[in-house]
Structure 1
Amino acid sequence: MGQTIGVKEIEYLAIGAAVLGTGGGGDPYIGKLMAQKAIEECGPVTLLAPDEVPDDALVVPTAMMGAPTVFFEKIPNGDEALHSLRRLEEYLGKKAFAVMPMECGGLNSTIPFVVAARSGLPLVDADGMGRAFPELQMETFNVYGVSGTPMVITDERGNWCLVNTVDNHLLEYIARGITIRMGGVGHIAEYPMTGKEMKETSIHYTTTLAINIGKAIVHARERLENPLEGMGKALAESNYGEPLVLFEGKIIDVDRRTVEGFTRGTVTLEGLGTDAGSHFKVEFQNENLIAYRNDEVVATVPDLITFLDLETYKPITTEGLRYGYRTICIGIPTPPIMRTTEALEIWGPKYFGYDLPFIPVEELAKNVKRGRS
């Protein structure tokens, strides 16, 4: 039943999840170390396929919420999310059958492994975003009718809060305020649901996909091959589309700030190689949201916009973007469940304040003429 995830798989997961995380989800390096330490101390984690979970079982997603930039200065103890899970179980009067990721991105793909290893629970191979998003209601669970509360949020000093709200938008508003007062970062257990609800509302097999993407990048580097080919093969076996090169260039400016519990900003690049003479800009709120090439939109949320180091193809998070970095920016089409009318109301460009329609990145990419402008 299930597959066994050990230290090596976490190494791949941290890379692949950062690719799918579109720059967000928290620093994958710290999350990787936390998960590997937990597995070394407590043993490997069992990863369950969604259909291996009984319909009446309790499944609880766990995660970190807050501004990723703050996380660099507030390294967690490692047991905060586990405490949130235990307090939620006490409130519900029921033990969790399994935990799962809230999103597929960076730190928040590895935190649930910390909880799973230290609790002895299995982890479900699915999540509620298929990427990373900055707000708690931006989950397929919410889109398709699951309540995010009751939710528990815990900080590194032991402070914790139980949150119950009338809807998931208010959950985000209240929990964000609590997180800000906890210093910008909190650790949560939320969206408690049945196995049946999980199967119907989650994006399946994203943990396996992240591991396969990470493995493809590592093996391609070892063999001096093009990592995009391996990534393409991994994505071809999923509900995602093939990776599309949007731009190759050098970062010439990063405007980044922490505002209201989010890391917001813009990164600007000048072209290299076949993109010499062109410019590129990406706006982000924890995650990359909109990409412009020569002031024309070439990708929008919810499709994935991810920066990779031009030499190593290691993914770069929004808090890791630096002046002078040479990068390649790729777009990845998201699964159909994330492109429905209901889903786009929750996380389409208009929700983030952009007066733009959602146009699939594979359609926008057809208009990208890579070369000197």
Structure 2
Amino acid sequence: MDSTILLLLVQDGVVNGAIYALIALSLVLVFTVTRVILIPQGEFVAYGALTLAAFEAGHRPGTVGLLLALGAAAFVADLAAGRHTLDARSLGAIALRDLVLPAAIAGATLVVPEKPGLLVGILLTLAIVTPMGAYLHAVAYRPLEHASVLVLLVASVGCHLALTGLGLVFFGAEGSRTPPLSDAMIPAGPLVVSGQSLWMLALTAAIILGLWTFFGLTLIGKALMATAVNRLGARLMGIAPSMAGRLSFSVAAFIGALSGILVAPLTTIYYDTGFLIGLKGFVAAIIGGLASYPGAALAAVLVGIIEAFSSFHASAFKEVIVFMAIIPVLLWRSLRSHPVEDDE
């Protein structure tokens, strides 16, 4: 292996690691706030990529119907959850969030041209997929918010299987790609850096900076951090766990959809591709401790580099090598930790 190949592999690993970093950050956010290991995060990635591909092909994506159905189901779940305290104002707010918003987004997809263009398609894709996170939380997870982590994990597996099956129904078994955000090719010594790669790195850095600003400088962000640090204490201070969960799931869905939009020009995305991408993000989150945002981001870059070198030296076993990287980390953590009981 010469220096040029080494630099190419590192470049490829860092670019892939940027996507895994976004997934890992969203998994850490959801887990620290709600104790949910969000296995369906990969489906948000696939839905984002394939929804944009449908717009580019001139089709109305099936995720629009799913958004309407999830909104209606969330409306019923919200009514059931707040049946003892409902008044006209809260009923109107619930209807606006769960019924009017999805209907407005669906109406926007009918108003725009069949091929709305890349920028409009991206905005519509983010608008369609992002609310799904909040609705999924209301329907599948909020009724189980006092359950054990194991029960929440089983619920996540069920949501993953359901969303994967729906993805097959909406998009079919054939894969899709989308146009790159930039066709530029920039020479950098022995390397050639694509504009798409720079977009991926820039948007990843922007998301990380945005999350740091959100958690450090905004009241809602501090409420989420308080919920992550001490759920009972946050509840006593008037921070509703349902609000925190809904917001964290919305952020995770937005990040997942954006990740799908960024990765779709580089590889063909199928209805079930998101699971593998999400699993690599989960490996990074575990290596980072499932509690540290900087640790998860750095671990994601490490996972990307391991994958790149594995593809060069043993392409048939690259997935095995990536997932085996988690084993020594788990062994090391198990030796350093003491058994504790789940007190929630």
TM-score by length of 2: 0.27
Please tell me whether Structure 1 or Structure 2 has the larger radius of gyration of its CA atoms: 2
Name the one with the larger strand percent: 1
Name the one with the larger helix percent: 2
TM-score by length of 1: 0.25
